[in-house]
């Protein structure tokens, strides 16, 4: 519960219903971005990382280093990885779109097979195991 200061998160039934509908559409290939409001709890650095990650379009990838540079921490690639590890809302905050600088798939809190599947679902060609061609 440390991600939710003061106890359990409050759930708004209409937001939860909308989130489920958007996820269903995403997995059907009918949605490429999410509009449901998010209020994840995290450090200021984590929030900067997560907010940037949400701007990466469907089917595109970035490296940990590119994310670090984009948020003004050019030497913070490892810190970006730690922020992604703490991501409370994978898919809504699409950390599966972040790769190692050499194009290798890197880590993922839901497992590498799921990361590979999500990337392929979004049209990213994955050579498994191995590297992913950089975004076009």
How far is C-alpha 44 from the chain's CA centre?
17
Q: Which of 93, 95, 105, 124 is catalytic?
A: 95
How far is C-alpha 121 from the chain's CA centre?
14
95 classed as catalytic: yes
Q: Which residues are catalytic, by number? A: 95
């Amino acid at each position: 519960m440390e991600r939710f200061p003061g106890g359990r998160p409050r759930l708004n039934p209409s937001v939860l219903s909308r989130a489920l509908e958007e996820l269903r559409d995403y997995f059907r290939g009918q949605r490429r971005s999410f509009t449901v409001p998010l209020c994840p709890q995290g450090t200021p650095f984590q929030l900067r990382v997560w907010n940037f990650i949400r701007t990466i379009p469907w089917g595109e990838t970035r490296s940990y280093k590119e994310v670090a540079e984009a948020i003004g921490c050019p030497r913070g690639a490892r810190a970006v990885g730690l922020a992604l590890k703490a991501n409370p809302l994978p898919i809504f905050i699409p950390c599966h779109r972040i790769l190692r600088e050499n194009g290798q798939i890197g880590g993922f809190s839901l497992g590498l097979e799921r990361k590979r599947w999500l990337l392929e679902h979004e049209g990213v060609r994955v050579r498994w195991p191995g590297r992913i061609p950089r975004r076009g």
